[in-house]
Amino acid sequence: MSHEEKNIRIFHNPKCSKSRQTLQILHDRNTNPQIIEYLKTPPNESELEEILKLLGMEPRDLMRKKEDIYKELKLDDTSLDRQNLIRAMIENPKLIERPIVLSNNKATIGRPPENVIGLL
């Protein structure tokens, strides 16, 4: 199977060094990923649900808890349900950990960037 057939997507933040390094690994392996700048084009609810399922994570596991917005929105409140947390990530995509790479019904977070090699 060629890399193009795998339909590789990366949820990318060009300002993030880990995201840039992950994208470079993809390019170095002659893949042509679909680059989604998720801060400009955040995933919708069903896309985020699919990403969480593929990663085997709960919404809070995929959140950047050190972001100011996490504290401002009090997202550590354990009474918040899954839908509230997902909505917060869609409305504030800065909360979503990065980069996320999807390929062939699998997903990984590029932290460290070398994690992506297992998807290729």
Please pick, among 3, 9, 16, 64, the residue that the annotation labels catalytic.
Answer: 16
pLDDT attached to residue 120:
87
Output the CA angle 57-25-68, nearest 5 degrees: 45
β-strands 106-109, 34-37 pairing: unpaired
Give the whole-angstrom CA distance, residue 64 versus residue 18.
14
For residue 70 the two structure tokens come to 């996490």
Helix (H) or strand (E) holding 82: helix 82-91
Confidence (pTM) = 0.92
Instruction: Please say whether the beta carbons of 51 and 101 come within 8 A.
Output: no
pLDDT attached to residue 49:
97
CATH domain 4-119 topology? Glutaredoxin (3.40.30)
Mean pLDDT, consecutive 10-residue segments, the chain of 120 residues? 66 97 96 96 96 97 97 97 97 98 96 94
Q: Which residue has the tokens 């808890």?
A: 65
pLDDT attached to residue 6:
65
Helix (H) or strand (E) holding 8: none
Catalytic residue flag (residue 16): yes
pLDDT attached to residue 85:
98
pLDDT attached to residue 105:
93
